Amino acid sequence: QKEVEQDPGPLSVPEGAIVSLNCTYSNSAFQYFMWYRQYSRKGPELLMYTYSSGNKEDGRFTAQVDKSSKYISLFIRDSQPSDSATYLCAMLRGGSNYKLTFGKGTLLTVNP
Amino acid sequence: KAGVTQTPRYLIKTRGQQVTLSCSPISGHRSVSWYQQTPGQGLQFLFEYFSETQRNKGNFPGRFSGRQFSNSRSEMNVSTLELGDSALYLCASSLESGVFGYTFGSGTRLTVV
């Protein structure tokens, strides 16, 4: 079983839709959670980071963490064509471990 | 504020050759990590350096090595290249521990023929 599971999609939605992206993980040592967005031929861009269970909002983006269920989500409200990209969840253990473990990524297309 | 700079952007090498990739982190960032990204395996951790010391290493063969200089710039080297080493190599930097996220460069696309 992989440490981090993410549905690769692809996911196609109309402009203005609410998008839900999800990851599950198996290792309870993960303490820090991030979402990255990656456009074609570019490096991943950090969207949000969080370390506690609950919701964190930033503009149209909301990150949700449920440590008891080992489940994290990213919601995108009022999705735009410019949101079309691959979304990657990433996790970091606590303590002296500096290795990010990534999900495989979900390819999202927002259609005008 | 300049981002993470990786050079070169594209590279074509022949099997058996070696290659060196370079990364300049964001000014003030002392932690530099390297990742390999392939369609099949996704993003996989290679190693992480802080103040010229390797703090973590991923599950890659010894052909993959790296180093960090006193100005935090980093290089990674791959010796005896194999076809399977074709990938996007990404460098990421952070202030210290990455708990607030890493900033990635645009990567070096390595093709081994």
Q: How confident is the model at residue A88 (pLDDT cuts 50, 70, 90)?
A: very high
Q: What value does the mean pLDDT of chain A take?
A: 94
Task: Over range A89-102, report the average pLDDT.
Answer: 87
| Cβ contact A81:A111 at 8 Å | yes
Q: Where is pLDDT greater, at B36 or A98?
A: B36
Q: pLDDT value at position B12?
A: 98
Q: Inter-chain contact B102–A103, Cβ cutoff 8 Å?
A: no
Q: pLDDT value at position B113?
A: 97
Q: pLDDT value at position A51?
A: 87
Does residue B87 carry a pLDDT above 90? yes
Q: How far apart are CA A21 and CA A74, in angstroms?
A: 5
Closest by CA to A30, choosing from A8, A4, A5, A6, is A4
Nearest-neighbour CA in chain B from A44: distance (Å):
6
Does residue B99 carry a pLDDT above 90? no
Q: How far apart are CA B93 and CA B52, in angstroms?
A: 13
* Residues of A engaging B, defined by a Cβ cutoff of 8 Å: 32, 34, 36, 41-46, 49, 51, 88, 90, 92, 96-105
- Please give the C-alpha separations between residue B31 and each of B7, B83, B88, in angstroms, as whole numbers: 18, 30, 20
Sheet architecture: strand order including B74-78:
B5-7, B19-24, B74-78, B64-68
Q: pLDDT value at position B1?
A: 65
Closest by CA to B94, choosing from A98, A35, A31, is A98
Does residue A96 carry a pLDDT above 90? no
Question: What percent of chain B lies above the pLDDT cut of 90?
Answer: 91
> Nearest by CB to A34, which of B33, B35, B101?
B101
